Amino acid sequence: MRYFFPQDTYHQEPVQQGLNEWINWPEVDAEIGGLFAARASIAPGMGHDFHYHPGREEIIYVLEGAIEQWVGEDRRVLTAGDAVVIPADRVHASFNIGATEARIFVVLTPAASDQPLAVDMSDEAPWKTLRAENDL
């Protein structure tokens, strides 16, 4: 089992909103244990739209920037040093509302699962109109 993960071993995943850097990734690290983690960057005006993780809990810790964080229909603005704990199967979203790149640290558990990592809900009611109906 690996215990140490130098930066050059991270699984790089370019995504529309920025870059996910998976520190330990179940598809690569077969003996990963009970959790896995990532750093993610989110460009200004972009975000991880409404989704949920089947059977997985998540912690998001803001490293830099300002994030509009949703958990269900509850919303908060999180800045560096703030965190959120998201129960398994709860719809949530994170949007960068600042003028500079936001960076977050994410931990999910369990790592091993026969479920998909995420299920997109951004085209489903009420999620597809929730932000517009609740402008900050």
CATH of the domain at 55: 2.60.120.10
In the chain, the number of structural domains is 1
Q: Let me know if residue 80 belongs to a domain.
A: yes
**Res 136 pLDDT > 60:** no
Q: Let me know if residue 1 belongs to a domain.
A: no
The pTM of this model reads 0.90
What is the pLDDT at residue 17? Answer: 92
Q: Let me know if residue 2 belongs to a domain.
A: no
Q: Let me know if residue 25 belongs to a domain.
A: yes
What is the pLDDT at residue 29? Answer: 61
Q: Let me know if residue 43 belongs to a domain.
A: yes
Range of the domain at 55: 7-133
What is the pLDDT at residue 20? Answer: 93
- Helices (runs of H) and strands (runs of E) counted in the chain: 1, 11
**Res 33 pLDDT > 80:** no
Output the CA–CA distances (angstroms, integers) from residue 3 to 24, 36, 51, in the order listed: 10, 12, 30
Give yes or no for a contact between 118 and 108, defined as CB atoms under 8 angstroms apart.
Answer: no
- Would you tell me how many other CB atoms lie within 10 Å of the CB of residue 132? 7
Share of the chain above pLDDT 90, in %: 72
